[in-house]
Amino acid sequence: MNKFVDIAIIGSGPAGLAAAVKAKENAPGARVLIIEKMKEPAKKLSASGNGRGNLSNRKCKSADEVLRFFSETGIAVRMDNEGRIYPYSEDAKAVTESLVKRARMLGVEILLNTKADSVEAVHDDKGSFHIFVEKGKNREGIFAEQVLIATGGKSFAVYGSTGDGQIIARKLGHTVNPMVPSLTAIEIKENIRNLKGTRAKVQASLFDHGESVFCENGEIQFREDCISGICIMNMSSKLPVSGYADRGKSMEECKIVINFMPDFSSAELVGFLKNESDNICKTASDMLKTLVKTAISDEILKRSNIALDREAKSLTMEEILTIANGLRMFTLTPTGRKGWKEAQVTKGGIPLEEIDDATMESKLVKGLYFAGEVTDYDGPCGGYNLNNAWITGIKAGRAMAADFKGE
């Protein structure tokens, strides 16, 4: 059985739902259809922010427009001291329910348990696109004048993000930049098992071929073979990706530098350690007790070839400088990102250069649109990626409504 619609949206996440609502609000006569392969819409959105739903961030350039969309859709929000925006109830699932209710009230049809298998651009008298869908054992065709791909990336596959949209886009002639996990823990070459479970507030920097490409303060956590924490997750997006046209560099030339003493200058730290060794502490280990946790101080002294029970007064100035450097420049070698199960978002996808930023329409295929994580955008933690989903969905929905030709 074939279905005929004006606007077909593949994916019912935040980008797809926002697009459907805006399209129907601006073109009430348009037949708008959402195609979702999962049995529930927007499952990833409902689980975002550990269920609290970090929807946006005040620092985003498009935050005002996104906040206006929330207000118009009946979603009350609150903002924390760092600009992160949450639903007032801090219940992400309630946001999903509000959006779905709004879409259906406007007349948007939502097909669940239905996978868009392929899309063909044909521009014949039946519609500009033929979409072939699978629902159970049945395979059906849908004709649409316009198509929006809003299927997400590959993070959290359990919620339906498995890279389907990128496959469709490639078959329609688009480039797909290599997709890798982003906003995730970073695997480390060195043996850090003795630091497992240790947390510290630090300044974390990434150097690529000697060039500083990232620096951020925050808390990190050492795990058995990797490091994590918000600043490390943000750092993961800056690691080189094999196959990128603009960054053909290898991760082998990258170094992570951890400064455990970001509030001390080098001179201040050396002065503190010298005073400790001369007047207060009995052992080298004692010198560091008020600066860092024991597991960290033990590792730094081990790297410095200084015994933990070494008499503090016997330390030379060169050895004190070595300890200070270890505290301020604790170097690790990244070997990779943790896999898709831990990644918050996807780095890679449809290049933004192939999409009109004002409308989210493909520059290669008329009537084809992209929104959300299917595109090659990965922002930092704190609501930036969900904000991107909302604003690109809003743009696409508005543009598709403007192109709706009516009866």
- Alpha-carbon distance 166 to 152, whole Å? 9
Nearest to 356 by CA among 340, 377, 337, 371: 371
Nearest to 85 by CA among 95, 99, 72: 95
Q: How do beta strands 115-124 and 32-35 pair? A: unpaired
Give pLDDT, residue 246.
43
| Among the ranges given (10-14, 43-47, 76-80), the one the predictor scored with the smallest mean pLDDT | 43-47
CB within 8 Å of 396: residues ≥ 6 apart: 15, 19, 22, 23, 148, 150, 359, 360, 361, 369, 370, 371
Give pLDDT, residue 248.
46
| Among the ranges given (151-155, 279-283, 317-321), the one the predictor scored with the smallest mean pLDDT | 279-283
DSSP state of 157: G
pLDDT digits (tens, 9 = 90+) for 170-188: 999 999 999 999 999 999 9
pLDDT digits (tens, 9 = 90+) for 107-126: 999 999 999 999 999 876 66
Mean pLDDT of 342-367: 96
Give pLDDT, residue 7.
98
Give pLDDT, residue 245.
45
Give pLDDT, residue 126.
63
Helix and strand totals (H; E) in the chain? 11, 19
- Alpha-carbon distance 379 to 119, whole Å? 29
- Alpha-carbon distance 168 to 114, whole Å? 15
Nearest to 145 by CA among 5, 349, 354: 5
Structure tokens at 108: 């948007």
Task: State the pLDDT confidence band at 290, using cuts at 50, 70 and 90.
Answer: very high
Find which of 109-123, 268-282, 353-367 is predicted with most confidence, using mean pLDDT.
Answer: 353-367
Exposed, middle or buried by CB within 10 Å (0-12, 13-18, 19+), for 94?
A: middle
Q: What is the DSSP string of 252-279?
A: GGEEEEEES-TTS-HHHHHHHHHHIIII
- Alpha-carbon distance 112 to 116, whole Å? 11
- Alpha-carbon distance 170 to 177, whole Å? 10
pLDDT digits (tens, 9 = 90+) for 245-265: 444 457 888 999 999 999 999
Percent of the chain at pLDDT > 70 equals 96
Go through the domains of the chain in sequence order and give each one's CATH number.
2-181+344-403 (3.50.50.60), 185-338 (1.10.8)
Task: State the pLDDT confidence band at 212, using cuts at 50, 70 and 90.
Answer: very high
Structure tokens at 398: 């508005």
Please give the model's pTM, rounded to 2 decimal places.
0.91
